[in-house]
Amino acid sequence: MTDQTDRLIEEVQSSNKAIEHENIKKQNHKLKRLLAEMCMHADEDTPSEHRTRHFTDTMTTSYDYLHEIGHLKEPNKKQEEQC
């Protein structure tokens, strides 16, 4: 009886881990999409002459990161240009 109980507990834990992993994947995808959208809109809505160096550096870093993780095909390109 103990072996069967232990096996069932392991199955439930494994199933819970799979569900948690899938939820993390969904959250990660949503975060990537939202970051890309935010960068794209900020890029469109803020004229370059009104951007601080920090703003520009952060936008570049964000675009580069999205490219690095495979969400954008090329660094420093708007998402809509790559879809």
Q: What is the pLDDT of residues 35-53, one digit of tens each?
A: 999 999 998 999 989 999 9
Tens digits of per-residue pLDDT, 51-74? 999 999 999 999 999 999 999 987
Question: Which residues are CB-neighbours of 66 under 8 A, at least 6 positions away?
Answer: 32, 35, 36, 39, 72, 79
Q: Residue 36 burial by CB count (10 A; 0-12/13-18/19+): exposed, middle or buried?
A: buried
| Cβ contacts of 81 within 8 Å, gap of 6 or more | none
